[in-house]
Amino acid sequence: MVNWIWLFFIVASVVVAAITGKMDAVTQAAFEGAKSGVTVSFGLISIMVFWLGMMRIAEDAGLLQTLARMLGPIVRKLFPDVPPNHPAIGYIMSNLSANLFGLGNAATPMGIKAMQELQKLNPDPATATPAMCTLLALNTSSITIIPTTLIAIRMNYGSANPAEIIGTTLAATFVATSAAILADRWYRRKSPPPPITPPPKPGSMKAGSPTVGGEPGV
């Protein structure tokens, strides 16, 4: 749907420009937008590399493990239907840690891996589980201590004090995360619990019988 919306905008702008005789302005705007996008991207690369390096140093120093231990009880409380030692828990904590430091692009791969692991626990692959909805809500509204990406964008556009948004960003994301958690808890109470499909016992499946994932049995 989003692709169709963008296609409509592009086609409509070209048609209107052709009718009004402003095709030169559209062409110039397209090239200026491409140039601006490349410039901003280079600025983001530098700040992202810096903070990813800082996170690697923090990981080697054991700070991320300490942060993970601090987030552990909160994550287990927010995701009660995920087994404590499941790989999804580790990816969820990595996703939340990256979002805390405003590394949205670095948090995305961890969020995708967490969703893939949560899908393995999903008894109905066509419907999102409560844990998936909780992860999506937290990833969208995550508390951000240091808005790294926004600071980089403000630096690229010549802001006199790029870091002055840290306080307001922290307050805004705290409110957003609190609202997301409250909405998630409310919907969890309203919705019936998802059916739990126990894993098949070893040796209980006959040859040629389908498994839970749809693959033929051994």
For residue 50, give every residue at least 6 positions away whose Cβ sits within 8 Å of its Cβ, in sequence order, or none. Answer: none
The CA-based angle 9-12-16, given to 5 degrees, is 140
pLDDT tens sequence across 72-96: 788 888 888 888 778 888 788 878 8
pLDDT at 97: 78
Q: Classify residue 15 as exposed, middle or buried by CB count within 10 Å of its CB (0-12, 13-18, 19+).
A: exposed
Residue 59 has a pLDDT of: 66
Q: Is the alpha carbon torsion for 48, 146, 82, 123 positive or negative?
A: negative
Q: Reply yes or no on whether the pLDDT at 178 is more than 70.
A: yes
188: confidence class by pLDDT, cuts 50, 70, 90: confident
CA dist 178 and 143 (Å) reads: 9
Does 158 score more than 70 pLDDT? yes
pLDDT for 209: 40
Residues 6+ apart with CB under 8 A from 82: 88, 89, 92, 118, 121, 131
**What is the identity of the amino acid at 126?**
A
Q: What is the pLDDT of residue 182?
A: 92
pLDDT tens digits along 12-35 = 888 888 888 888 888 888 888 887
- The residue among 76, 81, 170 whose CA lies nearest residue 129 is 81
How far apart are the C-alpha atoms of 105 and 116, rounded to whole Å? 18
Residue 105 has pLDDT above 80, yes or no: no
